[in-house]
Amino acid sequence: MENKQELVKEFVIEDGIGAQLWRKIYAMSYAKYYGLVFQDTPITNFLIHESDKVSSEEEKQEFIKKFLSVIDNPWKDYDFSDLSNFVLCDKAGAGLPVTQGIIPSLQNFTKLAPTFNNIEGINNEVVIHIRRGNVIKENPRWIDEDVYINLIKSVPYMLDKLNISIDQISIITDASNNNKLYKPINDDQMHKWNQPYLNRDENGYFPVTTINFELLKNAGSNIQIYNNLSTYDAFIKMIKAKVLIVSRSAFSQAAGLLSKNVVIDMFDSHNQFMGSVGFVNRDGTININ
């Protein structure tokens, strides 16, 4: 029997752009690490967050196009016309549906992700990502404000240990200025929002959460808060940060994977980052390796 080439595909989920991009990068890294080939599955749709500022099909497709431009796919010209020559890898990605394509334990192959990064340049700042938006307190991804206060207070210690100087601390978040409600733009989006911990009211509106911006600003010095950047600009800012502190969010975890600079892991991270030098403890203090 003729040997078939092993092929890796991403596991596709109906979620936000960050979650989909993360799974794509994850599968690509696995293929590169093990000398396999990766067949891309184009992203055509995603769960639209209120902070994405997308209200039409045209805006949605332009949004996707911008995000995909961040990644260089070295297999883009590979000939997949005869799939009988390939066998789907069952160790990660689409061939491992029981865990949505993710290997339960942390894996070294994700450290290869920066090789797919098309973005050049570095900004002399620490970027902290805080996930809010449609994440409410009952959601496992929720991280209390006290954790972030301790985290900001620990940044000078981290910089001293790493012998790094910066111009500012930038906090990137999808937190709205006030707690409010958001209604998905159409029935398709309403279906995508039908997930655990996303609880709509009788009129189809979902809660969108904020954070205490004043507490964050008072926790340190030279702090800038960005909660009105475009989703794409926020992603690029994270990738370019001299030091990126990720959240329990596929959005910043994807940026951390692509980063060529210093990355601080959040507790319960799903990834090994090439630039990892430490991690955030559950109380918000930073531990340097």
Q: Residue 30: which of 97, 140, 115, 117 has the closest Cα?
A: 115
pTM of the model: 0.96
Spelled out in words, what is the top-level CATH class assigned to the domain 123-288? alpha beta
Question: What pLDDT is attached to residue 2?
Answer: 65
> Cα(198)–Cα(203) distance, rounded to whole angstroms?
14
> Cα(273)–Cα(242) distance, rounded to whole angstroms?
14
Question: What pLDDT is attached to residue 95?
Answer: 97
Q: Residue 153: which of 216, 241, 242, 85 has the closest Cα?
A: 216
Question: Are the beta carbons of 258 and 117 closer than 8 angstroms?
Answer: yes
Beta bridge partners of 169: 126, 223
Mean pLDDT per 10-residue segment, the chain (289 residues) = 86 95 98 98 96 96 97 96 94 96 93 97 98 93 96 98 97 96 96 94 96 96 97 98 96 97 92 96 96
Question: What pLDDT is attached to residue 1?
Answer: 42
Question: What pLDDT is attached to residue 270?
Answer: 79
Q: Domains of the chain: which residue ranges?
A: 5-116, 123-288
